[in-house]
Amino acid sequence: MTIDWQKEVEARKEDLLEDLKNLLRVNSERDDSKVTEDAPFGPGPRDALKHMLAYGERDGFVVKNVDNYAGHIDMGEGDETLGIFGHMDVVPAGDGWDTDPYEPVIKDGKIFARGSSDDKGPSMAAYYAMKIIKDLDLKLSKKVRFVVGSDEESGWGDMAYYFEHEEEPDFGFSPDAEFPIINGEKGNVSLGLHFQGNNAGDYVLKSFTSGLRENMVPGTAEAKLEVPNTDVAIAMEEAFFKFTEANPVSGMIEADGTFVSIELVGKGAHGASPQSGINAGTFLATFLDTYAFGGAAKQFIHVAAAYVHEDFYGEKLGVAYEDEKMGKLTMNAGLFAFKADEESTQAENFINMNFRFPKGVTVEGLEIGVEKTVGMEGATVTRGARVMEPHYVPMDDPLVATLLQVYEDHTGEKGYEQIIGGGTYGRLLKRGVAYGAMFPGYTDTMHQANEFMSLDDLFRATAIYADAIYRLAK
């Protein structure tokens, strides 16, 4: 039986787009201030999860909501289960958008909105792939389960809860990365550098904040400080403008007597590729490091400037490592916080560093290496709660081989393996990978302002997913 998958997608593309637009309108940023028993990650992720599951109910699938943590949409029966993993939560929209991030806009063949490429657009492509198979009444020998998550961008608490209550699929993929395939992912852990909240000397750092999430390169940073006198404040203004002219940043500085406020703008990016962004936090620290702050404030600024600034591969921190297959360790400094308060705890004054590490690196080794480097500068090192070890599925695994063959058949391009620093739900399964929905040469706008997905790529990915699911489950 020959099926023209692209033709089937073409017949449904208007419905697909309408469903995607409505899903994108749901602001599904995690909000811990609004957590309830009914909304474990805040109302946004819950509402987006329920919205997606409602599509499955509308279209006649078997649907289950697991206490608003996650859910699934099922079709087919069999002794084995093919799992497809998508997520409805998104990173904060942040600044710099040309349009409302939660009112999708189609322009120049692209759909712009937060979540369009990460991960609502790809998830909708995978869902419509299942819908095509169901509409055509194609016979399957395996169950196909689309698992819908709501906390992928934060702590993966959704999947921890889900797998406490539901069986794990036997194999599967996540439509949350790139074609031809992602069959390897680096390990992932965050280390915190903590400081006291005191100052010493003539310059006083009142506060310093930068970053929205540990897996985003901070696009903005703010600092409030007090300087010795008005002449120093005026001179600092002049020095700041010279700094912005000499570096790839912009910003504003305002002096009110001896009180100075600074806002610096860099460029946000996905934390798995920190070298593609411009970290506003470390650039602002680099500017402030030329002034005579003292105490813990000086330690905070100096560590950020001397050891963290543009240390994408952990060289300044003394933990650089490269594996022949998985590549280099990377580091993203995603969160900065300092508040001048003698009573504040080290938990309130910190730099959060997210590491993506290849095989050959241990978390204990990272801690020891960082502590050795910055411990003498007054920083205390702590480990984040979530640790993910490196993940790899061999090329000769039937799952990988089948998915690559489908890609080659639809594109005419040779498939090849890829290993990334990003972490996807593909790693949840021993035989799990990430598969699309972005094609080679795409413009990466994930975790950035003006996020978009090409409509041609959206529809082409849907056809590939339909064919792949059918081959894996028929």
pLDDT at 201: 85
In Å, how far are 24, 88, 154 from 70, measured between CA atoms?
A: 18, 9, 14
Half-sphere exposure of 265 (CA within 13 A, CB side): 10
Q: Is residue 226 among the annotated active site residues?
A: no
φ, ψ for residue 332, nearest 5 deg? -120, 125
Residues 233 and 260: beta-carbon distance below 8 Å: yes
DSSP secondary structure letter of residue 340: -
Query: Do the strands 419-420 and 184-185 form a parallel or antiparallel pair, or are they unpaired?
Result: parallel
- Residues 137-150 have pLDDT tens digits of 999 999 999 999 99
pLDDT at 422: 81
Average pLDDT, stretch 119-125?
98
In Å, how far are 193, 277, 351, 400 from 225, measured between CA atoms?
A: 21, 26, 18, 55
- Residues 352-389 have pLDDT tens digits of 999 999 999 999 999 999 999 998 888 999 999 889 99
- Residues 149-194 have pLDDT tens digits of 999 999 899 999 999 999 999 999 999 999 999 999 999 999 999 9
Fold for 188-388, please state it. Alpha-Beta Plaits (3.30.70)
Count of C-beta atoms within a 10 Å radius of residue 28: 28
Query: Residue for token digits 């360790």?
Result: 329
Indicate if the pLDDT at residue 269 is higher than 80.
Answer: yes
Neighbour-count burial of 343, counting CB atoms closer than 10 A to its CB (0-12 exposed, 13-18 middle, 19+ buried): exposed
Cα–Cα distance, 156 to 98 (Å, whole number): 30
Residues 30 and 45: beta-carbon distance below 8 Å: yes
Indicate if the pLDDT at residue 449 is higher than 80.
Answer: yes
The model's pTM is 0.84
pLDDT at 119: 97
Average pLDDT, stretch 317-336?
96
Active-site option among 8, 19, 29, 89: 89
Query: Do the strands 216-217 and 269-270 form a parallel or antiparallel pair, or are they unpaired?
Result: antiparallel
pLDDT at 342: 66
Residues 268 and 449: beta-carbon distance below 8 Å: yes
- Give percent of the chain above pLDDT 70: 99
Average pLDDT, stretch 44-58?
98
Domain with CATH 3.40.630.10 in the chain: 5-186+391-473
Cα–Cα distance, 8 to 57 (Å, whole number): 21
DSSP for 299-329? HHHHHIIIIITT-TTSTTTT---EETTTEE-
CATH 1.10.10.10 fits 5-186+391-473, yes or no: no
Query: Residue for token digits 């411990």?
Result: 375
Q: Is residue 89 among the annotated active site residues?
A: yes
Residues 459 and 8: beta-carbon distance below 8 Å: no
Active-site option among 29, 151, 152, 311: 152
Which residues in 55-80 are b (16+ Cβ under 10 Å) and which e? bbeebebebebbebbbbbbbbbeeee
Indicate if the pLDDT at residue 344 is higher than 70.
Answer: no
pLDDT band, residue 343 (cuts 50/70/90): low
Identify the bridge partners of residue 29 per DSSP, sorted by sequence position.
Answer: 90
- Residues 190-240 have pLDDT tens digits of 999 999 989 998 999 999 999 999 999 999 999 999 999 999 999 999 999
- Single-letter residue type at 268: G
Cα–Cα distance, 380 to 196 (Å, whole number): 10
- Residues 291-326 have pLDDT tens digits of 999 999 999 999 999 999 999 999 999 999 999 999
Give the residue from 366, 435, 412, 372 showing the smallest Cα distance to 183.
Answer: 435
Domain with CATH 3.30.70.360 in the chain: 188-388
pLDDT at 8: 98
- Single-letter residue type at 102: Y
Mean pLDDT of the chain: 96
Instruction: Locate 88 and state its tokens.
Output: 């409805």
